[in-house]
Amino acid sequence: MSAKSEIELLPERVHENQLSELTGIQTRVLRKMAESGAFAEPVKSRYMFAETIQGLLEHFKTRSSEERLQKSVVDKQLVQANVELKRMDIAERQNELIPRSTIQPALERAIKEVAARIESVSEITQSNKDRILRSCEQIWLTVSAELQKQSEEKK
């Protein structure tokens, strides 16, 4: 039997339940795929058999290519992240980076010292001192939040 005559033996249309059983794809998913244009929508729950199978094959072929491309992008991002982690590790070892556990208490002491010195300067009005101290407090809150955020991102 030739390939052409075998194709002629295939049904022109197939009920969605049969197609679902044949492909292992739920009827709901088949309908959504048809609605999205992967193949023609069914008429009275019956799909054009050959066109639908071709559409399914093309859909999964395209999806497979897209997934490989996405995996490639993710792999590249992973390599870049690992390179950045190694760069940071080297920088920390060379004392170019200061660990959060070291910098946070030092910054807190420095801001408290600045606040104390501002309070001790008599030439500054109390309203200006209050404004400067609020700015110092805001700086501290911003730095603390950023350090906390970075710490959580590392986890």
Tokens coding 59: 């859909």
The pLDDT tens digits of the residues spanning 8-56 come to 677 889 999 999 898 899 999 999 999 999 888 999 999 988 899 899 9
Rounded average pLDDT over 86-91: 79
Predicted confidence (pLDDT) at residue 3 exceeds the cutoff of 70: no
Bigger pLDDT: 108 vs 93: 108
To the nearest whole number, what is the mean pLDDT of the chain?
81
90-117 average pLDDT score:
77
Q: 116-130: per-residue pLDDT in tens?
A: 888 888 888 888 888
Residue 2 banded pLDDT, cuts 50, 70, 90:
low
Take residue 9 and report the two structure tokens written for it: 């033996």
Q: What is the pLDDT of residue 7?
A: 56
Confidence check: pLDDT of 77 > 60: yes
Phi and psi, residue 48, nearest 5°: -70, 115
Q: DSSP secondary-structure letter at 48?
A: E
Count CB neighbours of 47 within 10 A.
Answer: 24
Q: What is the pLDDT of residue 111?
A: 80
Rg (CA), the chain: 33
pTM tops 0.75, yes or no: no
pLDDT digits (tens, 9 = 90+) for 57-68: 888 888 777 777
CB 35 within 8 A of CB 14: no
